[in-house]
Amino acid sequence: MLELNSIHARYGAITALRGVSINVSQGELVALLGLNGAGKSTTLGCIAGVLKPWQGDILFDGASIAGKSPEQIARLGISLVPEGRDIFSSLTVDENLRLGGYILKEKAEYHRNLDEIFELFPVLKERFQQPGGTLSGGEQQQLAIARALMSSPRLLMLDEPSLGLAPALVDQIFELIDRLHQRGVTILLVEQNVDRSLEIVDRAYLMNTGRIESQGTPQQLRTHADIEGIYMGVKGQSGK
Ligand SMILES: Nc1ncnc2c1ncn2[C@@H]1O[C@H](COP(=O)(O)OP(=O)(O)OP(=O)(O)O)[C@@H](O)[C@H]1O
Ligand SMILES: [Mg+2]
């Protein structure tokens, strides 16, 4: 479904990606793991069209999307939940979800998606008319994911959804991702929580300084030396 072929990207003089190749098949849950600054968010940004790779190609269903606008890419069915839950705090839950569904052509699909979201996130139904900013951190993260789901994405990309959440909420978010995967949603997940990610993903890529260092199933990766560095790095972080 998604294929990145040797993507290079830079911010001015800073090279962030040096030949990143990954692929995600329909229905798969794939994680991109790595230390701070490895290039994980940059990779998602290139796929979502917010940053143009200067070399390499990105194929979605076999057609190149590198160079398309974020709007065009969203319409193809790729949805990104960026780092740091960017919901609209002054808008209600209802309004946030409406914005997520704006690309839908049929009203019926909007209502179908909303019903599904109420089933997945009962708290959002309870808080429907409340401003997003009054929700707890975990609830805001649920709203950010729900908003992305409102557009019926074919590929959902989540950038560190568990960041900054209390352990109980982290559990909830991982259970939710697992449930979405079981429902058939194709997901590319960026995470620092290596243990929890490897419990639920089909495959993962380990990234380091703009390159993919290794990849494989959780079982293959757990025995891989590179992953030790990521564990060490995560443990050594004071948390952002
Ligand atoms: N807007 C920007 N301008 C300049 N450099 C940037 C910018 N965004 C990211 N970078 C640099 O690009 C590299 C990759 O950053 P990126 O945000 O992709 O890392 P990451 O793997 O998502 O890290 P984290 O786990 O901390 O979110 C880093 O060295 C970072 O400093
Ligand atoms: Mg990042």
**Confidence at 29, pLDDT banded by 50, 70, 90:** very high
User: Is the CB of 40 inside a 6 Å radius of any atom of ligand 1?
Assistant: yes
Which residue's alpha carbon is at the smallest distance from atom 17 of ligand 1? 41
Residues 125-170 pLDDT 10s: 999 999 999 998 888 988 999 999 998 899 999 999 988 888 888 8
pTM to 2 decimal places: 0.90
pLDDT of residue 47: 97
Mean pLDDT of the region 2-8: 97
**Model confidence at 235: pLDDT above 60:** no
- With contact defined as beta carbons under 8 Å apart, do 16 and 207 qualify? no
What is the 119 CA–ligand 2 centroid distance (Å)?
30
Which residue's alpha carbon is at the smallest distance from atom 7 of ligand 1? 11
**Model confidence at 97: pLDDT above 50:** yes
* Ligand 1 nearest-atom number relative to CA 45: 18
Give 59-122 as a 3 state SS string: EECCEECCCCCHHHHHHCCEEEECCCCCCCCCCEHHHHHHHHCCCCCCHHHHHHHHHHHHHHCH
pLDDT of residue 237: 47
**Model confidence at 214: pLDDT above 70:** yes
User: Is the CB of 53 inside a 6 Å radius of any atom of ligand 1?
Assistant: no
Nearest to 103 by CA among 132, 74, 124: 74
Mean pLDDT of the region 188-211: 94
The pairing of strands 55-60 and 2-11 is antiparallel
**Confidence at 231, pLDDT banded by 50, 70, 90:** low
* Ligand 1 nearest-atom number relative to CA 190: 22
Determine the length of the chain.
240
Mean pLDDT of the region 205-211: 94
Nearest-angstrom CA–CA distance, 23 and 18: 16
**What is the CB neighbour count within 10 angstroms for residue 40?**
26
| Share of residues in the chain with pLDDT > 70 (%) | 94
What is the 117 CA–ligand 1 centroid distance (Å)?
32
Alpha-carbon separation of residue 234 from 76, 99, 193 (angstroms): 35, 35, 8
At 115, list the tokens: 């019903």
- With contact defined as beta carbons under 8 Å apart, do 192 and 164 qualify? no
Which residue's alpha carbon is at the smallest distance from atom 14 of ligand 1? 39
pLDDT of residue 170: 87
Among 8, 40, 212, 238, the mutation site with the greatest number of ligand 1 atoms within 8 A of its Cβ is 40
- The chain-wide mean pLDDT, for the chain, equals 90
At 218, list the tokens: 């959780």
If you compute the radius of gyration of the chain from its CA atoms, what whole number of angstroms results?
17
User: Is the CB of 101 inside a 6 Å radius of any atom of ligand 1?
Assistant: no
* Ligand 1 nearest-atom number relative to CA 210: 14
pLDDT of residue 236: 44
Task: Give ion ligand 2 contacts, CB < 5 A.
Answer: 41
User: Is the CB of 37 inside a 6 Å radius of any atom of ligand 1?
Assistant: yes
Nearest-angstrom CA–CA distance, 222 and 33: 13
Q: For the chain, which domains are there? A: 1-77+180-240 (3.40.50.300)
Nearest-angstrom CA–CA distance, 157 and 171: 19
pLDDT of residue 230: 67
User: Is the CB of 127 inside a 6 Å radius of any atom of ligand 1?
Assistant: no
Is 92 in a helix, a strand, or coil?
Answer: strand
At 16, list the tokens: 């962030």
Strands of the sheet with 155-159, listed across from one edge: 78-81, 155-159, 186-191, 29-34, 203-208, 211-216
- With contact defined as beta carbons under 8 Å apart, do 146 and 117 qualify? yes
DSSP assignment string, 30-66:
EEEEE-TTSSHHHHHHHHHTSS--SEEEEEETTEE-T
pLDDT of residue 233: 57
Residues 32-49 pLDDT 10s: 999 889 999 999 999 999
CA angle at 100 for the pair 97 and 101, rounded to the nearest 5°: 95
pLDDT of residue 163: 86
DSSP assignment string, 201-214:
-SEEEEEETTEEEE
